[in-house]
Structure 1
Amino acid sequence: MPTAHKQEHKPVTKLSQKRSTSGVGHAREACALLWPQTLILFIDRQNKYKFFLYTKKARNNQRKFRSQLLLSFAMIQIEENADQNSPLLPAAAPPPRRRWAAAVDFFCILIGPASCAIVLVLVDIEGRPMARNVMAALVWVFAWWLTNAVPMPVTSMAPLFLFPLLGIESAQSVAKSYMDDIVALVLGTFILALAVEHYNIHRRLALNIALAFSPGDAMNAPLLLLGICSTTAFVSMWMHNTAATMLMMPVATGILPSSAHFELRQLSKGVVLGVVYSATIGGMSTVTGTGANLLLVGMWRSYFPLAKPIGFSTWFLFGFPMALILFLCLWTILCYFYCSRGSSEALSLHMDKTYLKRELENLGPMAWAEKMILIVFSTLVLLWMTRNLTDEVPGWGRLFKGQVGDGTVSVMMAMLLFVIPSKKKTGEKLMDWRKCERLPWNIVLLLGAGFAIADGVHLSGLTDELAKWLSFVEKTPWFIIPFIVSLVSSAITEFTSDNSTTILVVPLLIELAKAMDLHPLYLIVPGGLGSQFAFLLPTGTPSNVIALGTGRIQVMDMVKTGLPVKIAAHLALAFLMPTLGVAVFGTNEPL
């Protein structure tokens, strides 16, 4: 960072404008201020460089600038022939890269196409060339997913060229997999989630719940932990669990400041683990909560287009009780490990209800924009829940002869945010496209890749061969099958993402269910949910990495807490699937 001469005690602002005669390209603009003890915020947008410098109190001019926050602006137009890529501030030199790192990167990149070529040349699947081609494409895609040789969204686009080139599907058919009702559901839901984040509604919700779970003036550590975890689980029901973790982690850690006190450090660990695990558990309860649920629902519709689709309300009737049981188990485990007898007393010494009320007052009263977003959000949930009810009491979807889906409603309600005024500025709406720049296109591409792979595996008959690897399940008693399936799926998901596990496991379980003459949902629901039981290692889900990134927990903390949570999840699923699952999904009826 450039520093000013120590002998100067006046802000030196210089405006120089140099017009370039070449007229080629765009000029770069910079705002610079020279002053001791400055903090620079650097923004780079569209080839324009701006420096906003906020000065602290000058040591030698305290009387003059005691209550003044100096903000000075100067524009310096740099000549067009300057190096556009050179930084305007001296940056720290990147750490030297080892020579073997480039070789490792090249090797990881080479694994994908090399493995694909080996499968094409050496593998023969009982005279099924298309199945062999699909396996070759899968080997390429999964090799890059596992090694992260290429960014995951880029790898997710590989089926768009691999499937047509290998003769699996036409380019038109593959492209359709990347935009269907499930993808529309994701886009609409994430736009609403971005609106919630933009207007700070999630923080207001967390503070209100923390106050509600704090009876009396003294703080209660287990109840505060319950409030933070329940808020995270609720938020995760309506957005991706990773996004919910990113939203709630700074809110939760901000409510509970770090401290050298042992009880508070332990409670802080419980809060961090509670946020990440509650986000995972809350995502299980709804279709929109996680990509694995969306993939499972989409694959079910792709394999069985004539069967009754899994709607939002259908999944909620099974997923919410499952998530509720698991959430209570999680809270009990967290209290046992991280809420000692002295934690409430130690917490009361550092914060109380007055602190929470002050933080809530800083947010101010709810504005028109926040109220309208809550109304739109509540209406969306209501429409999701009532689109399909029962055969005796049909939902509102019957009025449109079954032509509308959950994605239809999601996009429709999201578009309202671009129409309703925010009443903050003249002509400003609740949302504009600039606020949607962080839409999760990586999730969209991953879902498209999952649907394309599912179609290719199904059409080629590859699942018939791969399902033979799980033939040992056929000898298992039917009431133990959900436990075995979820156990296998959760073991895989500790080393890869839940989405990748779902893409791999669900087609195999469908073929296995056909061989065992069982309803496919009796196997794929435990398989899809089991892929989300990534409670032990950071590799299972990005949410776990976010938790480790706080610096408040270690891997062993995840293992110690995640193992009993994982056992409770398997037992709960093994109990609910043969009981509640039969009633909700109709697994005792013919397909």
Structure 2
Amino acid sequence: MAGYWITECFPMAVTSLIPVVLFPAFGVLSTADVCGCYVNDTIMVFIGGLVLAIAIEHSNLHLRIALGVMKTVGCTHGKLLGGLCAVTAFISMWVSNTAATAMMVPIIFAVLNELEQAGYCRVYDELPVPPGSLDPPEKRPTRITTAYLLAAAYCSTFGGTGTLVGTGTNLTFKGIFESIFPHSEGINFTQWMIASLPQMIVNTFLTWFYLRVAYMGYLRPRSKDAEVAEIGVEGEMVTNQVIEQRYKELGGIKFHEAAVAGLFLFCIFLWLFRKPGFVTGWAEVITDIDLRDSVPVIFVSIMMFFIPKDFNFLRTWSKDPAKRPFKSSEGLITWDVIQRKMPWSLMFLLGGGFAISRGSMASGLAKKIGETLVPLRYLPPFFIMLIVCFFIGTITEFTSNVGIANITLPVIAQMVKYYSNKTPLFDTLSPICWYTSYFVIQCVAMEMHPMYLMVPATISCSFSFRLPVGTPPNAIISVIGNIPTQSLMMGGCIPSIYGLVVNCINFVTWGMFIHNIKEFPAWATSDYTPPT
């Protein structure tokens, strides 16, 4: 399946259905167990989150947010780039990075085209045509355009790591973790958000700073980049007019937008206070049954169909027959819109990953692979984290982020889980290594919380910056902006480095404190029996 995902010889959704056939046929898992992987809490959270994202786009709320923030921050290239980074990262926290990038790219070109018409910048450079060629000159984005497009792609990637619903890899981790460690408390939306926000904010700021220095001549006042990036007072006025005009075209805030925004904030409130830890959550008040994040988002999604997007139905009793509506009011979202815009194949991809995770555990494959990682036990935990994150950050450039999370996270979890069982490792490892019994005892004693490696590894799965195939935002800007792969690779090297460093440092300082993983949990051992 990993080979099929990487080469895409089959559609990814079709590849994801292979476990439904092979696992029962080879006695790995029952049909009921396999099919249960394709419909669970994580899948429902993903569906509900996409319904919210589609509703926001359907109501044009995303444009109002983006243009409003840009109108507020100012219109020099530095300020516009900062506003773009902030807005993109914020939107990507709640919708997919693909949707966030697709929302911002048209706004970027609208502003740049107006500046070009006024003579303050160029959007594209035309490459020279060979003598005698009848082909039109090829266009390449200028460094200014490249900076804006890279900002949209990179910040949508960083923003997606800020919440559980921001990217599919986070939801994949949630499903795999709760499947492998069923007696744990699960992954809490509030804890994840609080723990991940610092690294998201720092990485977004570093992206803004890096792009200004590398492409706009910041700190290099005599460079050519600095001269091109200088708009001047008149350029600021033109940009302000573009944004003001686009914002006026939206008109006043409609009930459709206000209702979607209200339900969106209501869903966030329900997520944050479901079981926050510092106060009694609403879920703990209403029931003793395990109630997870899918309940609030599906409830809000249903309300999207229940609440009308306008009040035309109130004219049903109008004395003037011409004012009476001739059909029922539409909801805030319609099923036709969802059918057209919902990426259904990604749900099968998530489910296939969960099936691989459960199958690798049931068959013992993850345990065998985890045993081969014994040499890493020589190193301090922080260096193990760096190596794992660097490895995943490199591999994810060549394949699907969700796919690499499905493949690697079960192995990482099993590596930690295996060595915590206090089983006689010497007999198990003797055919493949000649470690002394003393070192084996030290390995067993070095207990590591499963989240210590799994959380940073999950975030690293999203850090694809160098290749178009690494993540959809890269593909979007590469195709729409006509950015050469070589330029994309050169631009993405620095974010890959500081993203790795910030991710690891944030987790060993702030993340460990929020997730409370100072001590090894009893539920991580395979022989753990929960108290009755």
DSSP 3-state at the match of 2:517: coil
Partner letter of residue 222 of structure 1? Answer: G
Compared CA separation, residues 491 and 469, structure 1 to 2 (3 A): farther
TM-score by length of 1: 0.73
Q: Does 1:173 align with 2:76?
A: no
Query: Of residues 332, 345, 353 in structure 1, which corresponds to 2:231?
Result: 345
Other-structure match for 1:410: 297
DSSP 3-state at the match of 2:490: helix
For 1:185 and 1:262, locate their aligned partners in 2 and report how far apart those are by CA, in whole Å.
43
Q: Does 1:289 align with 2:166?
A: yes
- 8 Å contact kept, 2:405–2:458: yes
Q: Does 1:475 align with 2:384?
A: no
Other-structure match for 1:277: 154
Q: Which has the higher helix share?
A: 2
For residue 244 of structure 1, report the CA deviation from its aligned partner. 1.8
- 8 Å contact kept, 1:202–1:248: no
Partner letter of residue 157 of structure 1? Answer: L
Other-structure match for 1:304: 181
Q: Once the two structures are superposed, what CA deviation does each residue of 1:453-505 show, in whole Å capped at 9, x if it has no partner?
A: 11111111111111133333211112222211110111111111111111111
Other-structure match for 2:368: 465
- The answer to which structure, 1 or 2, has the higher relative contact order (CA under 8 A, 6+ apart) is 2
DSSP 3-state at the match of 1:287: coil
DSSP 3-state at the match of 2:382: coil
DSSP 3-state at the match of 2:55: helix
For residue 262 of structure 1, report the CA deviation from its aligned partner. 6.1
For residue 580 of structure 1, report the CA deviation from its aligned partner. 1.4
Partner letter of residue 294 of structure 2? Answer: G
- 8 Å contact kept, 1:453–1:503: yes
TM-score by length of 2: 0.81
- 8 Å contact kept, 1:333–1:561: no
Q: Once the two structures are superposed, what CA deviation does each residue of 1:144-179 show, in whole Å capped at 9, x if it has no partner?
A: 111111111111111111111111111111111101
Compared CA separation, residues 558 and 261, structure 1 to 2 (3 A): farther
For 1:546 and 1:408, locate their aligned partners in 2 and report how far apart those are by CA, in whole Å.
33
Partner letter of residue 567 of structure 1? Answer: I
- 8 Å contact kept, 1:493–1:540: yes
What pairs with 1:216-227 in structure 2 (closer than 5 Å)? 219-227=75-83
Q: Once the two structures are superposed, what CA deviation does each residue of 1:295-350 show, in whole Å capped at 9, x if it has no partner?
A: 10111100111111111101101111111111111111011122233424169538
DSSP 3-state at the match of 2:165: helix
Other-structure match for 1:266: 143
Q: Does 1:396 align with 2:276?
A: no
Other-structure match for 2:332: 430
Partner letter of residue 251 of structure 1? Answer: I
Other-structure match for 2:397: 494
Q: Once the two structures are superposed, what CA deviation does each residue of 1:500-551 show, in whole Å capped at 9, x if it has no partner?
A: 1111111111122232521111011121111111111112112211110123
Q: Does 1:251 align with 2:107?
A: yes
For structure 1, the 5+ residue unaligned runs are: 1-140
Q: Computing the radius of gyration over CA atoms, which structure comes out larger, 1 or 2?
A: 1
Query: Of residues 190, 202, 206 in structure 2, which corresponds to 1:329?
Result: 206
Compared CA separation, residues 253 and 468, structure 1 to 2 (3 A): farther
What pairs with 1:10-409 in structure 2 (closer than 5 Å)? 141-214=1-74, 219-257=75-113, 259=116, 265-340=142-217, 341-342=226-227, 343-345=229-231, 348-349=234-235, 351-390=238-277, 393-399=279-285, 400-409=287-296
Compared CA separation, residues 348 and 298, structure 1 to 2 (3 A): farther
For 2:335 and 2:291, locate their aligned partners in 1 and report how far apart those are by CA, in whole Å.
25
For 1:491 and 1:474, locate their aligned partners in 2 and report how far apart those are by CA, in whole Å.
22
Other-structure match for 1:445: 348
For residue 560 of structure 1, report the CA deviation from its aligned partner. 2.5
Q: Once the two structures are superposed, what CA deviation does each residue of 1:247-302 show, in whole Å capped at 9, x if it has no partner?
A: 22223222322849767632211110000111100000100011110010111100
- 8 Å contact kept, 1:232–1:248: yes
- 8 Å contact kept, 1:245–1:543: yes
For residue 142 of structure 1, report the CA deviation from its aligned partner. 1.6
For 2:346 and 2:283, locate their aligned partners in 1 and report how far apart those are by CA, in whole Å.
27
For 2:309 and 2:27, locate their aligned partners in 1 and report how far apart those are by CA, in whole Å.
51
What pairs with 1:506-585 in structure 2 (closer than 5 Å)? 506-514=409-417, 515=419, 516-585=446-515
For 1:148 and 1:536, locate their aligned partners in 2 and report how far apart those are by CA, in whole Å.
19
Compared CA separation, residues 375 and 344, structure 1 to 2 (3 A): farther
- 8 Å contact kept, 2:29–2:362: no
Give the length in aligned residue pairs.
446
Partner letter of residue 297 of structure 2? Answer: S
For residue 414 of structure 1, report the CA deviation from its aligned partner. 0.8
For residue 402 of structure 1, report the CA deviation from its aligned partner. 4.5
Identity, % of aligned pairs?
A: 30
- 8 Å contact kept, 1:480–1:574: no
Other-structure match for 1:109: none
- 8 Å contact kept, 2:120–2:231: no
- 8 Å contact kept, 1:535–1:566: yes
- 8 Å contact kept, 2:467–2:474: yes
Other-structure match for 1:73: none
Compared CA separation, residues 432 and 572, structure 1 to 2 (3 A): same
Partner letter of residue 197 of structure 1? Answer: E
For structure 2, the 5+ residue unaligned runs are: 124-141, 218-225, 314-327, 420-445, 522-532
DSSP 3-state at the match of 1:569: helix
- 8 Å contact kept, 1:233–1:283: yes
DSSP 3-state at the match of 1:454: helix
- 8 Å contact kept, 1:582–1:588: yes
Other-structure match for 2:134: none
Compared CA separation, residues 176 and 352, structure 1 to 2 (3 A): same
DSSP 3-state at the match of 1:421: coil
Other-structure match for 1:22: none
Which stretch shows the higher mean deviation, 573-582 or 278-287? 573-582
